[in-house]
Structure 1
Amino acid sequence: MGSRGVAISLFSGAGGLDLGTEKAGYEVAAAVEHNADAAATMEKNFTHLQSEVIRRDILKVPTSELLHAAGLSAGQRPDLLIGGPPCTPFSKSGFWLEWKRSGLDPDASLLQAYTRILDEAKPRAFVLENVYALTYNNKASRPAYERLLREIDQAGYHFAAKVLNAADLGVPQARPRLFVVGVPKGEKLPELPEAKHGGSWERRVTGSSDRPHVTAGEALAGLVTEPEPEEQLRGQYAHLLADIPPGGNYLHYTAEKGHPDPLFKWRSRYWSFLLKLDPDKPSPTIQAQPGPNVGPFHWENRRLRVPEMRRLFTFPDDFDFVGTRSSIQAQLGNSVPPLLARQVVERVAEVASN
């Protein structure tokens, strides 16, 4: 058992939140993950799990099975519950779909799977992670977010919620995520971590002025990688990437940027279209399932290689992913950077372990 006790992991993915949880002193003893490759990645890297990763639909997994898988007997409760329910209905990049904006995505019910287990398992503390767009004041996000907080309250917990940009906490990637943490009512409430780094992000300044953001160039320094078959861009726009400067995107080819032969209208594409890394800044958010022309791409005019993405998410270099190149990108793109997770869980542990 970890020095701070047993954790149960829901929606585990490849284990980014889990890895940070273990670095903070807990032992992840049981995990639920429906995706076969992600579950295999968990089992390959978390060899001390009390049982195999539960690979079923979480809506059909009783809490009693989870507790048994974690090695807990009747009457025992976990020290920590962690998880990040899939963000499909609330993802900012998905709001162009009317059925998602209208809150009709069935994946929204996975938030209730989390609160059901929270209510039944009665952990000593919990950490829930999700996309920050869940907090948006629109007809898809707002009712779902309010219901989530209401169900946490009904389960007997009070909580703190905050959007954290991973770059502000030392991750070489600008990745804003919502964290909700809590403990039983009557106990001291954890405080989420404050920014330790700062810099520009999406046309504004974020974080702390004490230290600059960790840059992509710093994160990838000294990393030796082998070429990957999928790294070369192909298709109608592939040849355009070479002329785009580091940190730039398709706007390089607009009249507003002074291009002599404009190919695109101003703000006619999503911002990450033909987006290139700047070695002097953190990476922009790396998506799980980017389109063929969606970056960030390496400043060497190619797709990022798996070892490079691993660094930009703060996974250890020896963390072994299972699956195809596209599967691994999806696992990474859906993950919580372990360095960010560790700092969140450490703040929870400071209260819950006392």
Structure 2
Amino acid sequence: MASSKQRPIAVDLFAGAGGMTLGFEQAGFDVLAAVEFDPIHASVHEYNFPFWTTICKSVTDTTGREIRAKSAIGDRDIDVVFGGPPCQGFSLMGKRNLDDDRNSLVSHFVRLVLDLKPKFFVMENVKGITIGKQKEVLHQTMETFKQQGYQVREDYQVLNAANYGVPQNRRRLFLIGCRQGWNLPDYPTALTQPPNKKSTNKKSTARKRKPAVENLLPSTPNVRDAIGDIPEVNCYPELEYRDWVMVDYGTPSFYASQLRNLVSIEDNYAYSREYNPQLLTCSRRTKHTATTMARFAATKPGKSDRISHFYRLDLKGLCTTLRAGTASNRGAHTSPRPIHPITPRCITVREAARLHSYPDWFMFHTTKWHGFRQIGNSVPPLLAQAVARQIIQSLAIIPRKPQEKYALADRELLQFKMTQAEKYQHLEVQAIARRTRLK
């Protein structure tokens, strides 16, 4: 039986801008501490979650005692620790390398979980960690947890965000475990059915079969549902030099209505944030050459541009996986950004955020480069929420619906350059090595 209404507590490791933090908050958790070593990402996280503690520090230099001391956790029993150790060393998109130094961060995730001793843990990573030699890292992680008194779901699953209400095909591994004495959570069942899914049944003259249960699920919102109400940014000259403007939105879909906070969502337990519903943010325009725009215009929806290989979104389909690119110490490479389904241009950060299930009040860095990286590196909140609900169920509690409402005011946190962010976060050394430019 579920106990009285309360808010369980959590810790987010490798927090980034806060996709998993938000998803767990929406499920009913208070994420009292979040650790993020990039000072720009940490500052954005602090902006969006001003009522909790953001610790700007590498997990390699962090201890459970420090996390407890710097936050409101103290000596309380933590309900869940979650996080996605940087995954580029395992990614199917690049050169998978077991010796990549980023892979060692998985071991630090394990160390901090064992140090903090939560009831549950959730580790997110790319599908590539389940394939080939990379699987050794995953199995070693599971074995370490089991040796230290944790149960682990050995039937680990790769979940597609499109099955949980996100208009984007994005597959990620989730490894779930719990302390002895607790029941292992189940993986969330699909909540939605991706649109335009072709039947695998062969044509037959036999009588029609009853529809499968999955066909009774509501459809995943498509690209039109996600961004169809956002006015065309090229109509606003102000967006050439800043990232916000006051607009009249179009008629929203139910999905967009939720992200615009126009409808009440019964199972959303997040704290309310104040924001102006006529404000369009994170929408700085991208300048394209006439040649590029002509190529984009000639690219059919659902196909890729022949030169840039940018994918053009289809209003009736899903977005492809939004990727992050690389940090400055790894070349500062920009990942391909989808082409808008109607206008021959790349989508804006806000449009990407909609396709990732971020609400409109959630803010990103004012530069396109950092904004897209923060989205591409994050877990879609609705996917994180689906996983977090399973933890809530295993805890056998009913989350408390918060009455508090917060204003997000200090926009300076969204505008820092790296040196400014390092100074604000009181870092004594460079958090990330600067890119070396060729002379």
TM-score tier by shorter-chain length is: 0.7 to 0.9
Alignment partner, residue 224 of structure 1? 231
How many pairs were matched up?
Answer: 323
The reply on whether 1:149 has 2:142 as its aligned counterpart is yes
Match of 2:297 among 242, 248, 253: 242
CA-CA distance at 1:113 after TM superposition: 0.8
Alignment gaps of 5+ in structure 1? 96-100, 254-263, 265-271
Alignment partner, residue 182 of structure 2? 187
Alignment partner, residue 127 of structure 1? 122
Give the 3-state SS of the residue equivalent to 2:233 in structure 1: coil
Alignment partner, residue 390 of structure 2? 347
Q: Which amino acid aligns with 2:286?
A: E
Structure 1 contact 225–305 (Cα < 8 Å) conserved: no
Alignment partner, residue 105 of structure 1? 100
Q: Which has the larger radius of gyration?
A: 2
Match of 1:208 among 214, 226, 230: 214
Alignment partner, residue 294 of structure 1? 336
Give TM-score, length-normalised by structure 2. 0.68
Matching of residues 1-354 of structure 1 within 5 Å: 3-49=6-52, 51=53, 53-74=54-75, 76-95=76-95, 101-136=96-131, 138-139=132-133, 141-160=134-153, 161-199=156-194, 208-210=214-216, 211-224=218-231, 226-227=233-234, 229=240, 231-234=286-289, 239-250=294-305, 273-289=309-325, 294-299=336-341, 300-353=343-396
Q: In 2, Cα distance between the equivalents of 1:233 and 1:130?
A: 34
CA-CA distance at 1:292 after TM superposition: 6.4
Moved more, 19-28 or 177-186: 177-186
Structure 1 contact 125–352 (Cα < 8 Å) conserved: no
Note the alpha carbon deviations across 1:226-259, whole angstroms, 9 max, x for none: 3455524459866422211100124xx6xxxxxx
Alignment gaps of 5+ in structure 2? 201-212, 241-284, 327-332, 398-439
Q: Which amino acid aligns with 1:221?
A: G
- Greater relative contact order (Cα 8 A, min sep 6): structure 1 or 2? 2
Structure 1 contact 162–178 (Cα < 8 Å) conserved: yes
Q: In 1, Cα distance between the equivalents of 2:178 and 2:287?
A: 48
**Sequence identity, in percent?**
31
After superposition, the Cα gap between the structure-2 partners of 1:321 and 1:199, relative to the gap in structure 1 and judged at 3 Å, is: closer
CA-CA distance at 1:132 after TM superposition: 1.4
CA-CA distance at 1:179 after TM superposition: 0.9
Q: In 1, Cα distance between the equivalents of 2:290 and 2:139?
A: 43
CA-CA distance at 1:190 after TM superposition: 0.3
Q: Which amino acid aligns with 1:231?
A: T
Q: In 2, Cα distance between the equivalents of 1:39 and 1:193?
A: 29
Structure 1 contact 225–307 (Cα < 8 Å) conserved: no
Structure 1 contact 85–130 (Cα < 8 Å) conserved: yes
Alignment partner, residue 263 of structure 2? none
CA-CA distance at 1:5 after TM superposition: 1.8
Structure 1 contact 233–292 (Cα < 8 Å) conserved: no
CA-CA distance at 1:103 after TM superposition: 1.1
After superposition, the Cα gap between the structure-2 partners of 1:233 and 1:194, relative to the gap in structure 1 and judged at 3 Å, is: farther
Q: Which amino acid aligns with 2:15?
A: S
Q: Which amino acid aligns with 1:151?
A: T
Q: In 1, Cα distance between the equivalents of 2:198 and 2:16?
A: 31
Note the alpha carbon deviations across 1:77-120, whole angstroms, 9 max, x for none: 3111111111110111113xxxxx34110000100111001111
Q: In 2, Cα distance between the equivalents of 1:280 and 1:132?
A: 26
Structure 1 contact 276–295 (Cα < 8 Å) conserved: no
Structure 1 contact 168–208 (Cα < 8 Å) conserved: no
User: Could you say what the CA RMSD is over the residues aligned between the two structures, in angstroms?
Assistant: 2.6
Note the alpha carbon deviations across 1:34-82, whole angstroms, 9 max, x for none: 1122101111010111x4x2212210111100111232334x3311111
Q: Which amino acid aligns with 1:344?
A: V
Structure 2 contact 177–184 (Cα < 8 Å) conserved: yes
Moved more, 162-171 or 319-328: 319-328
Structure 2 contact 33–71 (Cα < 8 Å) conserved: yes
Q: In 1, Cα distance between the equivalents of 2:80 and 2:192?
A: 28
After superposition, the Cα gap between the structure-2 partners of 1:35 and 1:292, relative to the gap in structure 1 and judged at 3 Å, is: closer
Structure 2 contact 334–369 (Cα < 8 Å) conserved: no
Q: In 2, Cα distance between the equivalents of 1:353 and 1:65?
A: 29
Structure 1 contact 174–282 (Cα < 8 Å) conserved: yes
Q: In 2, Cα distance between the equivalents of 1:84 and 1:201?
A: 31
Q: In 2, Cα distance between the equivalents of 1:7 and 1:278?
A: 38
CA-CA distance at 1:293 after TM superposition: 8.2
Q: In 1, Cα distance between the equivalents of 2:361 and 2:121?
A: 28
Moved more, 145-154 or 326-335: 145-154
Q: Which amino acid aligns with 1:317?
A: D
Note the alpha carbon deviations across 1:198-217, whole angstroms, 9 max, x for none: 23799998x93223321011
Q: In 1, Cα distance between the equivalents of 2:47 and 2:316?
A: 34
Q: In 1, Cα distance between the equivalents of 2:32 and 2:6?
A: 13
